[in-house]
Structures are given as C-alpha cells and as structure tokens.
Chains A and B, each alone.
Chain A
C-alpha cells in the first residue's frame, strides 16, 4: 500500500527566503510523485510531477523537487519565497493498480510568508 508523510503541518518563511517542504513516501512499486498547491477556497492545482527520467523536476511558479529513491523522498523547494506562495501544499503518490491510478495524499503543509 502506498502512503505519504509530510513533515511539518505549518512552515513560516520570510519573503525572499528559501522554501523547503519535506515529503517522504512509501510505495511497493516505482512511484509517480506529485506536488499540488491549494489556495484558500480553491481546488488543488498541480505544481509539478515526477514520472520517469530526470530526478530533478521543475514546476510552475519557480518550484522544483528532487526524487531520491534511496531516501524515498520528494522534497519541494523554491529559492526565494514570494507573498503569493502562501497556500497549502500537498505531496501525493500514485501507483497504477488494477483498480485505477489512485492518488494518495499527505496531510499537507501550510506555508505562511512573512514580509
């Protein structure tokens, strides 16, 4: 069974500082990994995804994530935080099973950006 753990339910960063959100996964087969962002009262929007190939994945809004199989991690980073990055971020893992491509989400990390 697949699972996702996000370390830290809340993260506070200063504007211009590094954003680092941690995600560890468990999967019995090679995983597909995703980061989604959720702004208040909105649905989830895909930031980036890892399927195969290059382990460093670049996404929208300056975010990137690196897949590290040995550490079962997929941490999300952004070099310089902007006020508009304040939102909740969800890491998710998917495996293609007989029943479909089920997405399993972590508990989420809420990011606060201080001016």
Chain B
C-alpha cells in the first residue's frame, strides 16, 4: 500500500514570495490533515478536511495561508506572502475516517526555508 505522498520535499524562498505544497493521501482515506512542525517543536494542526469539506481550520493563519482539497483526494497548501516565521516542516497526514482513536498516517513532509 502506497503511503502519503508530498512534494516538493524541500523549498527555499525569500520572504514575501508565495509557495505551494501538494499532498496525495492514502487511497480511500477520507480525512486529510496539514500540520506545521517548527524546529524543536511537535506538529501543530493547521487544517483538517473530511472529504472536500473543512472540519477544523481554527489554527490556520487565514490572512496568508490557504488550503483546498478539490474532489476530496489531493490537497494543496499555499502560503502567500511568506514570512520568516513560516520556516518549518509541513506535514500532511490522512486517516480512513475521522475518529479520535484512528491512526493518522504521515507523509515525509516538505521542509520550507524562508530567507
């Protein structure tokens, strides 16, 4: 079974530029999550999708971050414009259904460096 795929793996941009990350979840997984992991910290949930609908985006900085999951499969996360503090690893995860006891499967992440 293929895991969660993310691209690119690494991205370096200058502040005020835009960047987009892509995620392809495990086939059949209805729930998709984007996390931000700043160096030395645990992952923090940015947004959760159930199929193509947003379940929780309470911690997404909506003035600069946006995410979509068209057709309920792949998802993109965009930052526009980027700030220095956005430097982090962006992790995508998926689970079969939305349930507190259900395992979330994580992709390898995209490491973003903002100069």
B contact residues, range: 20 to 34
Q: Which residues from A are CB-within-8-Å of B105? A: 46
A105 & B101 in contact (Cβ 8 Å cutoff) = no
Q: How many residues of A contact B (CB 8 A)?
A: 28
Is A12's beta carbon under 8 Å from chain B?
Answer: no
**B50 in contact with A100 (CB, 8 Å):** yes
Interface of A is mostly: strand
Report the separation of the CA atoms of residues A80 and B44 in the bound assembly, to the nearest whole angstrom: 31
Q: CB-CB < 8 A to A41: which residues of B? A: 108
The answer to the question of A44 belonging to the interface, with a C-beta cut-off of 8 Å to chain B, is yes
User: Is B98 an interface position by the 8 A CB rule?
Assistant: yes
Listed stretches A61-69, A71-79, A90-98; interface member: A90-98
Q: Is B115 an interface residue (CB 8 A)?
A: no
A28 in contact (CB, < 8 A)? no
In the complex the two chains form, is A107's CB within 8 Å of B106's CB? no
Question: Which of A9, A43, A100 contacts B108, CB < 8 Å?
Answer: A43
The CA-CA distance from A17 to B93 in the complex, in Å, is 33
- Whether B107 contacts A43 by the Cβ 8 Å rule is yes
Which of B12-20, B35-43, B60-68, B73-81 touches A?
B35-43
Q: Does B2 contact A (CB under 8 A)?
A: no
Question: Cβ of B42 and Cβ of A108 under 8 Å apart?
Answer: yes
- Chain B residues in the interface with A (C-beta under 8 A): 3-4, 31, 33, 40-45, 48, 50, 55-56, 58, 91, 93, 95, 98-109
Beyond known contacts A43-B107, A46-B104, A49-B101: 18 more, CB 8 A cutoff: A4-B42, A32-B101, A36-B106, A42-B109, A43-B3, A43-B91, A44-B43, A45-B106, A46-B103, A49-B103, A51-B101, A92-B42, A94-B100, A101-B99, A101-B101, A103-B43, A103-B104, A105-B42
Mark A residues whose CB is within 8 Å of B.
Answer: 4, 9, 32, 34, 36, 41-46, 49, 51, 90, 92, 94-96, 99-108
